């Protein structure tokens, strides 16, 4: 089994250009380890602060906790292979390694590539309903996604239909389901990224029917 230092040294291709800000670093690579496609998120001095952690904790650990919580609650999320943080000489390093969500496609790519145009009407409707159901599940936990955009919602519709979430580093608990819902839906509605407004309205309507 690979340890923290082993995972840190694994090479791969950047999913997108890494972010460098406030003396910190954050980036995700895609690679193959032991014949399996994995995503490795690396962070240096990338912290969040809260009442519980006034001096800061690596943001990755918030994502690890969010994924584990949602997985226990039946929400479709990436499977964690490794997740940990270490502090050395006053500097934080953190890692999150997840398995590829095989046969899943981001909602953004589904629309931008035109894949949605090849789907039967009945299946199309079931996909939108499953998206509404996925949102309902996460909000029932009084948890907001926090970075709620079509590129972070993944769907599967080959042999069965599923919808789930990736990139949960900004996820957080709220006092009520309504607060979580309002944050995510306001954020999502501002950037549909190719999703027809009528489809988004259908998701909202089905969500309310599940409430």
SS3 sequence, 63-75?
HHHHHHHHHHCCC
Residue 94 burial class via C-beta count within 10 angstroms: exposed 0-12, middle 13-18, buried 19 and up: buried
pLDDT, tens digit, for every residue of 55-105? 778 899 999 999 999 999 999 999 999 999 999 888 899 999 999 999 999
Look at residue 22 in the predicted model and tell me its pLDDT.
66
Per-position b or e across 65-79, b if 16+ CB within 10 A of its CB: ebbebbeeeebbbbe
Are 101 and 134 in contact by the 8 Å Cβ rule? The answer is: no
**What's the average model confidence in pLDDT over 23-36?**
91
pLDDT for residue 50: 77
124 by DSSP, 3-state: which?
helix
Please give the average per-residue pLDDT across 28-38, as a whole number.
96
User: Of all residues in the chain, what percent carry a pLDDT higher than 90?
Assistant: 82
Residue 168 in this model has a pLDDT that exceeds 80 = yes
- Is the pLDDT reported for residue 131 higher than 90? yes
Model confidence, pTM: 0.92
Assigned token pair, 105: 């496609």
Mean pLDDT (whole number) for 103-130: 95
Number of H helices, E strands in the chain: 6, 13
Query: Shortest CA distance to 197 belongs to which of 137, 153, 150, 152?
Result: 150
Once rounded to an integer, what is the mean pLDDT over residues 31-59? 87
Residues of the chain above pLDDT 70, percent = 100
Q: Which residues pair with 24 in a beta bridge?
A: 21
141-164 residue pLDDT tens: 999 999 999 999 999 998 899 999
With tokens 């979580």, the residue in question is 180
Specify the pLDDT at position 89: 84
């Amino acid at each position: 089994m690979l340890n923290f230092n082993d995972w840190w040294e694994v090479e791969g291709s950047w999913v997108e250009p890494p972010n460098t800000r406030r003396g910190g670093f954050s980036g995700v690579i895609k690679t193959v380890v032991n014949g399996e496609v994995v995503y490795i998120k690396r962070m240096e001095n990338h912290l969040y602060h809260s009442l519980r952690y006034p001096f800061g904790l690596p943001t990755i650990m918030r994502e690890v906790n969010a994924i584990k919580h949602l997985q226990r609650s039946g929400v479709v999320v990436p499977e964690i292979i490794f997740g940990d943080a270490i502090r050395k000489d006053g500097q934080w390093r953190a890692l999150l390694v997840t398995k590829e969500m095989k046969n899943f496609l981001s909602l953004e790519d589904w629309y931008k590539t035109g894949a949605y145009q090849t789907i039967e009407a009945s299946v199309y409707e079931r996909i939108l309903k499953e998206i509404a159901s996925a949102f309902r599940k996460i909000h029932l936990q009084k948890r907001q996604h926090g970075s709620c955009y079509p590129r972070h919602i993944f769907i599967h519709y080959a042999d069965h239909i599923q919808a789930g979430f990736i990139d949960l580093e900004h996820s957080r608990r709220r006092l009520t389901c309504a607060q979580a819902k309002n944050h995510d839906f306001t954020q999502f509605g501002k950037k549909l990224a190719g999703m027809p407004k009528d489809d988004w309205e259908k998701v909202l309507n089905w969500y309310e029917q599940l409430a």
